[in-house]
Chains A and B, each alone.
Chain A
Amino acid sequence: MRANAKPIGGRLLTPSYKVILLIAAIGVATIIWRFAAGLGATTALSDGYPWGLWIAFDVVVGTALACGGYAIAILLYVFNRGQYHPLIRPAILTSALGYSLAGLAVAIDVGRPWLLWKVPVMIWRWNVNSVLLEVAVCIMAYVVVLWIELTPALLDRWSQSGQEQLRRRAERIRPSLDRALIWITALGILLPTMHQSSLGTLMLLSGPKLNAIWNTPFLPMLFLITSVCMGYAAVVFETTFSSLAFGLPKDLRILGSIQRVAAIGAAVVVGFRFVDLGLRGVMGQVFQLDLPAILFWIENVLFVLPVLMVAQKRVVSLGSLFRSAVLLALGGTLYRFDTFLVGFNPGRGWHYFPSVPEILVSVGLVAVELAAYIAIVKTFPILSGVRETSPTAVD
């Protein structure tokens, strides 16, 4: 009765799944190499560019794309839009996986990972002024929150398992879990609001090294809004993917309204950035013919196109929904890359382009996420609208 969500079931080790596993395995092997050989031998990082692909992509972009759970939770619980219900569980799952892997990426990136445990534990040593500390502690807490938010799926599986003992245990835990989940859910909205905005605040410490186009005191607000937009875009991706891969019915109406919310966010960002450039008197910077200016315009085009598509009601088919989601996600991704890498100027003589091992690790982590997602939705009741007969999907 309780859950309309059901496991997908079906064979796990399909040929395409094996390809994903292979890519993941290459990534894991590269991670082992990174620890064996050190950061200098495996990355293109330098004293000028101490942060590269792993921070900019896996953490800063990765967690924003993992904001689906956050974005849907806002609609669902704060604005009480019940129609988004079927989307929350898969969204929370992608968020949990995305954030967990971002945490792993941090452990791979830092030079002295064996001391990381001190960050959440040694409270008496906390530098309370450190924005990075806030981001780190917030993200760690949010990973825990996300996995707790997924426990109802585990209980549902126990209930459905047919084993009397498991079923009874599930029923015993459920009432108190339901009560706790209210506060956990609230935490699940508070924490991303804090750390997604603070990811923007982070780069303000680069001060004059950060290009004026991105160097605004409104960086936290812009990061927050774009993270919500990217979260919605990721939900559209994910729904498209599961409808293609598992043959699930998709509710275009729901996806369409989600896309409208994201488009409003994108429009606000674009409008606000121009006002902000004008107020700070640096509008001239975006009319120069240099790389930062060109990338600034590409960011804005990527944000404006989906807004136009939505405004002209062109987002009616799954294909056009998907296209506008891709544009939004790319816009947000580029905006983050530019703030962390392109807009960051450590001075003359420094260059950065990710090394092959860096790329293999990033791609590998995405593959790990995908593999885990598929395995989990096949085993646990995450997706709604599952057909009674299990489809043999992802072949």
Chain B
Amino acid sequence: MASDRRALLKGLAAAAAAAALPAVPALARQTPSAPSDAVGLLYDATRCIGCRACVVACKEANDLPADTTTYGDGLYDAPAGLNERTKTVIQLYKEGNEQSFVKKQCMHCIDPACAAGCMLGALKKREHGIVSWDASRCVGCRYCQTACPFGVPQFEWSKKAPKIVKCELCRDRLAEGKQPACTDVCPRQAVIFGKREDLLAEAHRRLASEPDQYVKTVYGEHELGGTQVLYLSHVPFEKLGFRFDSTDAVPKVQHLIQHGVYQGFLVPAALYAVLGTVVFRNRGKGSVDGSLTDEEK
């Protein structure tokens, strides 16, 4: 028995060593950067007049029904936030005489938390870094919803065959050579479409040429690992509902742990070998199925 325990401890030490080895490259995991052909949106809150043309255009382009639940009579399509009928929304922030509109939709994160957990890759960064959804791979587990730091993916709670509803940067329109519906209709170019690097340069140009107009950050340049949708604003971003300003991508910690332990499946395999050996050696001293051996009786 003592020797078995020694064998076990030795085995566990070996397993621990095996665990430490793959952890070294895992710790050096590069923070992903945006794909070279990444596209996105730049929304400038100082230019938005809250006309909601983008909201209407988005519904049309995506065949989404009106959301008449917020105001009575079923007359107005007036979503209060993103929901199963709404992929983008204009919200108002007002405090004293400080006010601003803000447009919400998927941020198309460079290291998206929603996709990191999705079992079969229903949500995934696909062409141009767009985070899109594939119905044939989604089991409706809603892990993406618990993961997304911006509260973006919505679930069709009212349906019996529910889907995940989220902005896919009008990928169908892009494929036809058109621009997204929301940027197409915006009368003030408050939201524009382009390659991420061009949008970023444009944002910094605006910051430099009119420094008094803006908070001195391009939200999404570094926040949560960076996003392909970028924001400029004259009021602090947390007032617009951006809760987090850490530059760490959300999946980072989980990746470090999971890769440290499971990379190449070495550790589980080692542990399994050790367990098998120990159980094998202990066999007979008490048979494996739980019946008593003669000696024990």
Q: Using a CB–CB distance below 8 Å, which chain A residues touch chain B?
A: 2-5, 35, 38-41, 45-48, 50-51, 76-80, 82, 85-86, 88-89, 92, 109-113, 115-116, 118-119, 122, 125-127, 129-134, 136, 149, 152, 156, 178, 181-183, 185-187, 189-190, 193-194, 198, 201-209, 217, 220, 344, 346-347, 384
Known: A77-B282, A118-B137. A127 touches B119 (CB 8 A): yes
Q: How far is the CA of A45 from the CA of B158 in the complex (A)?
A: 11
User: Are B253 and A92 touching (Cβ within 8 A)?
Assistant: no
Known: A50-B155, A111-B142. A205 touches B250 (CB 8 A): yes
23 contacts between A and B (CB under 8 A): A45-B157, A50-B155, A77-B288, A88-B290, A92-B290, A110-B141, A112-B161, A115-B137, A116-B139, A119-B119, A125-B121, A126-B121, A127-B119, A129-B251, A178-B287, A178-B289, A186-B272, A186-B275, A186-B278, A193-B271, A204-B254, A207-B149, A209-B149
Q: B4 in the interface, Cβ–Cβ < 8 Å?
A: yes
User: Are B290 and A189 touching (Cβ within 8 A)?
Assistant: no
What are the nearest 3 A-B pairs in CB distance? A111-B140, A40-B157, A152-B289
| Residues on A with beta carbons closer than 8 Å to the beta carbon of B149 | 207-209
Q: B57 in the interface, Cβ–Cβ < 8 Å?
A: no
- Look across to chain B and name the residue whose beta carbon is closest to the beta carbon of A48: B151
**Total interface residues in chain B, CB < 8 Å:** 76
| Residues on A with beta carbons closer than 8 Å to the beta carbon of B82 | 47
Spot the interface stretch: B37-45, B191-199, B209-217, B255-263.
B255-263
Per a CB cutoff under 8 Å, which of A51, A89, A92, A194 touches B268? A194
Q: How far is the CA of A194 from the CA of B118 in the complex (A)?
A: 19
Q: How far is the CA of A131 from the CA of B147 in the complex (A)?
A: 12
Q: B6 in the interface, Cβ–Cβ < 8 Å?
A: no
Q: How far is the CB of B80 from chain A (nearest CB, A)?
A: 9
Q: How far is the CA of A156 from the CA of B160 in the complex (A)?
A: 46
- Look across to chain A and name the residue whose beta carbon is closest to the beta carbon of B252: A207
User: Are A112 and B162 touching (Cβ within 8 A)?
Assistant: yes
- Look across to chain B and name the residue whose beta carbon is closest to the beta carbon of A149: B289
Per a CB cutoff under 8 Å, which of A51, A85, A217 touches B296? A85
User: Are A112 and B113 touching (Cβ within 8 A)?
Assistant: no
Q: B116 in the interface, Cβ–Cβ < 8 Å?
A: yes
Q: B276 in the interface, Cβ–Cβ < 8 Å?
A: yes
Q: How far is the CA of A38 from the CA of B162 in the complex (A)?
A: 9
- Look across to chain B and name the residue whose beta carbon is closest to the beta carbon of A198: B258
User: Are B254 and A127 touching (Cβ within 8 A)?
Assistant: no
User: Are A217 and B117 touching (Cβ within 8 A)?
Assistant: no
Known: A50-B155, A119-B120, A207-B149. A201 touches B282 (CB 8 A): no
Known: A182-B280, A183-B276, A185-B279. A47 touches B119 (CB 8 A): no
What 14 new A-B contacts, CB under 8 Å, besides A51-B142, A111-B142, A116-B139? A35-B160, A39-B162, A47-B84, A47-B153, A50-B146, A85-B292, A111-B139, A111-B156, A115-B139, A126-B119, A136-B119, A207-B147, A208-B250, A384-B292
User: Are B145 and A47 touching (Cβ within 8 A)?
Assistant: yes
Per a CB cutoff under 8 Å, which of B1, B138, B145, B288 touches A185? B288
Q: How far is the CA of A46 from the CA of B153 in the complex (A)?
A: 11
User: Are B254 and A201 touching (Cβ within 8 A)?
Assistant: yes
User: Are A186 and B276 touching (Cβ within 8 A)?
Assistant: yes
Q: How far is the CB of A51 from chain B (nearest CB, A)?
A: 6
Q: B286 in the interface, Cβ–Cβ < 8 Å?
A: yes
Q: B206 in the interface, Cβ–Cβ < 8 Å?
A: no
Q: How far is the CB of B67 from chain A (nearest CB, A)?
A: 13
| Residues on B with beta carbons closer than 8 Å to the beta carbon of A198 | 258
| Residues on B with beta carbons closer than 8 Å to the beta carbon of A181 | 288-289
Q: How far is the CA of A204 from the CA of B145 in the complex (A)?
A: 13
| Residues on A with beta carbons closer than 8 Å to the beta carbon of B253 | 204, 207, 217
User: Are A190 and B139 touching (Cβ within 8 A)?
Assistant: no
Q: Which of chain B's residues 143-184 have a Cβ closer than 8 Å to chain A? A: 143, 145-147, 149, 151, 153-162
Known: A111-B140, A193-B271. A4 touches B292 (CB 8 A): yes
| Residues on A with beta carbons closer than 8 Å to the beta carbon of B256 | 217
Q: B239 in the interface, Cβ–Cβ < 8 Å?
A: no
Q: How far is the CA of A225 from the CA of B112 in the complex (A)?
A: 30
Known: A5-B291, A85-B290, A111-B155. A80 touches B121 (CB 8 A): no
Per a CB cutoff under 8 Å, which of B8, B157, B160 touches A46? B157
| Residues on A with beta carbons closer than 8 Å to the beta carbon of B136 | 115
Q: Which of chain B's residues 1-28 have a Cβ closer than 8 Å to chain A? A: 1, 4-5, 8
Q: How far is the CB of A174 from chain B (nearest CB, A)?
A: 9
User: Are A125 and B141 touching (Cβ within 8 A)?
Assistant: no
- Look across to chain A and name the residue whose beta carbon is closest to the beta carbon of B275: A186
Q: B188 in the interface, Cβ–Cβ < 8 Å?
A: no
Q: How far is the CB of A30 from chain B (nearest CB, A)?
A: 16
Per a CB cutoff under 8 Å, which of A3, A110, A182, A384 touches B288? A182
| Residues on A with beta carbons closer than 8 Å to the beta carbon of B4 | 80
Task: Output the residue of B124, B224, B278 with the most chain A CB within 10 A.
Answer: B278
| Residues on B with beta carbons closer than 8 Å to the beta carbon of A346 | 151
Known: A118-B137, A186-B276. A80 touches B262 (CB 8 A): no
User: Are A119 and B139 touching (Cβ within 8 A)?
Assistant: yes
Task: Bits for B236-254, please: 1 = Cβ < 8 Å to A, else 0.
Answer: 0000010110101011011
Q: How far is the CA of A250 from the CA of B154 in the complex (A)?
A: 52
| Residues on A with beta carbons closer than 8 Å to the beta carbon of B153 | 47
Q: How far is the CB of A206 from chain B (nearest CB, A)?
A: 5
User: Are B1 and A80 touching (Cβ within 8 A)?
Assistant: yes
Known: A39-B162, A186-B275, A217-B257. A132 touches B141 (CB 8 A): yes
Q: B285 in the interface, Cβ–Cβ < 8 Å?
A: yes
User: Are B289 and A206 touching (Cβ within 8 A)?
Assistant: no
Known: A88-B290, A111-B162, A182-B283. A205 touches B120 (CB 8 A): no
User: Are A82 and B286 touching (Cβ within 8 A)?
Assistant: yes
Q: How far is the CB of B278 from chain A (nearest CB, A)?
A: 6
Q: B189 in the interface, Cβ–Cβ < 8 Å?
A: no
| Residues on B with beta carbons closer than 8 Å to the beta carbon of A204 | 253-254, 257
